[in-house]
Chains A and B, each alone.
Chain A
Amino acid sequence: MFSFEITPLGNLFLALNLAVFGSLIFMKRENLALMLLLFLSLSTIFYANNLITLFIGWEVMSWSSYFIIVKDVKLKTAQKYIIFNLGAGFALLGAIVLIYNFSGTFIYSDIIFNKVPIPFRTPIYILLFITIFVKSGIIPFHYWVIDTYKEAEDIFSAILSAIISKAGIFLFITLFIKIIGYKYIETNLLDIVAWLGVITSIVATFKAISQNSLKRLLAYSSIAQVGYIVTVLTILNSSGLEAGLYHTVIHTFVKLLLFVNIASIIYITKKDKFSELGGLIYSYPTLFIMLLIGIIGLAGMPPLGGFSSKFLIYTTLLEEKKALLLVAIMFSSASAFLYCYKLIYGIYLGHSKTDKKEHRKLSTLYYIPQYIASLILIVLGFLPSLAIEIFNPILISLGFKPTNFSTLFELNSNFASFNGGAIMAIFIAIFVVILLIVTSIKNRTVKTRDKLDISYCGEVPNPNSNLHYGYGVGEELRRVSFIGFILKNSVSPYWERVLVVVKESSIFLKRLYSLTIQNVGVVTIILFSILLYIGVE
């Protein structure tokens, strides 16, 4: 039943898994047994060589993470989490059983997808996509994601976003590229999936901008980023896979960094709202720099690794002549700057709203994951083709052509290339120049006695008045017609409607089991008469 094989793809995901768990395990001392189980189940998924092992890993992942989060979240959120994830698991089981029916085996290498008759292929694809969408939080299956990420313990949110959401991506690559083989899939279906990914990223980006809670913002941002990965993976060729893998790696480390950074802030201040935070740069400059690195990676700006993955995504779409998708993705990632700005401004800049005396002391353990993640982001910005060197064995093992590159500094796509080393050098040079200028000016500025001492503006603020409006970013977006529509609507009422229908039918059907014994007798007699009337033959 359990059998494993070591593949380059599994190695990559296991490395991510190890990095995430390795850097966080020391911070989360409770539930160690369940954490270990979760780690093992993820590893099982990554190294499985048959569908049953994969499914076992998948379900153990669902319930072990459920038992970890259930202590911290509300009952309703926990219910959402487990029902959606079990539903995804059951969809996967349905697809597995269907594949087994036609190919007679569960083992990856023995499955010949060609044997599946054409009418059954689309149901299999749809079941698999439901599984992937639920795990990755693609609209309309993202209903469980936000509340779970928000209410789960801060460190565990990092694990949820950094590695567990990647299990969906792994499943996508394994099933659609390795097992099914991309040539069978109808392009129409892939187009729909690609658009769902993009729509998810646009909607989630705007939802993220309008959040007042730090963790909800990151939760929406996580959905949006995974949306990009799903979109680019639908381009089933070597550059699509490469871009998807690149963004997976980047997103894992960016979200690890950001969630741990936010966790540090929440630990220090016990606050999770932009409207209650601000000005923390003076007390925690290291955290500020870490977050800066994180959002540069998140926004996909040079000189960090995030730029390389965005570059690959854009060129892949351009190469495939998916102009509309490209425009939509660019729109979404340009809008993402807004929430990146909100993160850094709302927390670290502006005037301080928390009393430093009430701050809790942050343990060094909180810094280690951030250092690791930012180091990787910087290295990947400097040597963008380092990742390509890791991806090439994966591409070869999945039957694609490896990508050539001359030096590790240079990242090539089919019609463009850039030199990460040079960009980094330029940025460092500019940074040094600006730093010199700023320090020389700073020596000449007059220090105010108190940061609230701005009464020359005409108003005299008191310590409680809000002097920075970073948290208000996104409020005005509600008035923009298209974006306002996104912000006002949500899928929750539709899912809740389903729940209400099931509950109502439950109350209705329950009456059958409270019938008086006379009525049960009557039912029996009626059944007897009906059956006798119909007859057996």
Chain B
Amino acid sequence: MSLLYFVILPLLASFLTPFFRNYLRYISLAVNLMLLALSFSFLGSLPIRESISFDSPLSIAFVLDSASLFFIVLFLSIMTLFSIYAIRDKSRKDIFILTNMLLASVSGLVLSGDIFNIYIFFEIASISAYILTSLQKDKEAYSGAIRYMIMGAVASIFLLIGIMTIYLNLGTLNLVTIGEKFSTIDNQIKSLTLISLFIGFGIKAEIFPLNFWVVDIYQASTNRVNALFSSVLSKAYIFLFFHIAYILGVNIKILSFLAILGIISFGVSEISALSSKNLKRVFAYSTLGQIGVLFIALSSSSIVATTGAIFLIALHAITKLMLFLSLDILEDRFSSVNIDIFKKFNSLFLISIFAIGFLSLLGVPPFGGFIAKLTILEGLITKSEYILVGAILVISLIEAVYLFKLLGMSREAGEKSSLDIPILKRGVLSIMALSIIYLGIFPELFLQICKSVALALVGVDNV
């Protein structure tokens, strides 16, 4: 079985399905499940390398190690849950054309073993993201999509500069070869390359100060699209950012710079969320905050903290999918995303879902977020990063202010209307909530998986 299926099948599903519009959602669910089965069949034979050569330097090189397999499985599970959630909504089925394209591109991003293919998948992902943003078909959505396009263009220009300088100096686009030879480049060129790549990937990975555009995009998109942005797209770019950083062998100074950016990112976005009145923006800020934590943990060069970060990536993907889909139910009912809608509904189920999600985001036991946070803190403290540990704890408290405000509002007395949630959506949300609780109480197995992923991501010599 070839690794190419991970890219080809979703693309095929995406391009062929206009002919079977009514079966689109079933086809994409089938593709997701098929690929999920396929990815498990690779489990025994890692790592796998595949390459299809055209004229040098153009070739397609795919690498499947435990890190990329982990992310593929994560994205496929998220997509499967998403497809099941949306399968009964006949009116919004066109979204599946784009989600399949998104799936193909993020799979390509994590699988690619050469930097030019990464650029190509980067563009495919961007294009599908622009169209996804504009799906709402109103003024706000179009202006959001335009803004997204401009930022995407800026990102790809910088990325292209970085790739160009690498190719001009090393004559290769293969990531492994680049990693071997990168230290031989002249220092100034090296700076230019690293900085261009940092800005190119940094814009997409949504790190401070390159993330000022993100919240507006979240506000412009529908909740379902936001769910995918937050739990699939941003996670793919975070992986890519650090994958490339570790391949290029960045030094401790750059890593500590990234950690500082991470803590600023966490602090600034959580503080900004405090006074936000729009739930989409609130969740977007919270996503940015978690990305900040991931940056802190992934740049600590501690394998324990990296393990925690991988755990957090998976957990945050599930949590944000759950929260945005719950918000989707609320927006359908009240056609508003003002935080006041938390006062208006009366559904113990949805409140429990929100409570589990929020507590997990805060890292409060016995939910999965706690294990992630504890592991990250353990890793940071063994590296003597006391200030980072303190900052994470203090900023988490600020995060608690607005998350608990929402929960408190939902219990306030007042006029409430009941919600009618279809059983399928209930099922999907419950699966996610239960998995968050399960990971919080029995984390050992998953932590081991995360550890092997962390080792594959960081590289044994970088530990």
Contacts and interface: CB of A to CB of B under 8 A. Distances in A.
A517 interface: yes
A78 B408 contact: yes
Interface in A53-105: 55-56, 59-60, 62-63, 66-67, 70-71, 75, 78-79, 82-83, 86-87, 89-91, 93-94, 97-98, 100-101
Interface stretch (B127-135, B377-385, B418-426): B377-385
Given A75-B409, A537-B187, A531 B198 contact: yes
B202 to A, nearest CB: 9
Interface residues on B, range: 35 or more
A537 B191 contact: yes
Contact of A510 (B158, B196, B275, B397): B275
A513 interface: yes
A507 B381 contact: no
Contacts of A502: 271, 274, 398, 401
Interface stretch (A143-151, A154-162, A393-401, A520-528): A520-528
A515 interface: yes
Nearest to B214: A513
A315 B301 CA distance: 56
Contact of B272 (A52, A75, A506): A506
Interface in A448-466: none
A517 B389 CA distance: 34
A510 B272 contact: yes
Nearest to A531: B195
Contacts of A79: 401, 404-405, 408
A521 B158 CA distance: 12
B389 A94 contact: yes
A524 B203 contact: yes
B401 A56 contact: no
Interface in B152-209: 154, 158, 187-188, 190-192, 194-196, 198-199, 203, 209
A70 B408 contact: yes
Among B194, B285, B365, B441, residue most surrounded by chain A Cβ atoms (within 10 Å) = B365
B275 A97 contact: no
Contacts of A56: 365-366, 370
B377 A506 contact: no
B397 A86 contact: yes
B408 A510 contact: no
Contacts, number: 152
B254 interface: yes
Contacts of B364: 59, 62-63, 86, 89
Contacts of A528: 158, 195-196, 199
A535 to B, nearest CB: 5
Contacts of B355: 67
B365 A512 contact: no
Contacts of B285: 513
Nearest to B281: A513
Contacts of B374: 52, 93, 97
Contact of B276 (A510, A519, A524): A510
B412 A75 contact: yes
A239 to B, nearest CB: 36
B4 interface: no
B199 A506 contact: no
A63 B369 CA distance: 15
A441 interface: no
Nearest to A504: B275
B362 interface: yes
B395 to A, nearest CB: 10
A416 to B, nearest CB: 46
Contact of A517 (B147, B187, B272, B398): B147
Contact of B389 (A59, A71, A78, A97): A97
A1 interface: yes
10 contacts: A59-B365, A60-B366, A89-B364, A94-B389, A94-B390, A510-B272, A510-B275, A520-B213, A521-B151, A531-B191
Given A514-B216, A520-B213, 14 more contacts: A59-B364, A63-B359, A63-B364, A83-B400, A86-B397, A86-B404, A90-B394, A101-B381, A514-B215, A524-B154, A527-B199, A527-B209, A536-B254, A537-B191
Interface of A: 1, 52, 55-56, 59-60, 62-63, 66-67, 70-71, 75, 78-79, 82-83, 86-87, 89-91, 93-94, 97-98, 100-101, 502-503, 505-507, 509-510, 512-515, 517, 519-521, 523-524, 527-528, 531-532, 535-537
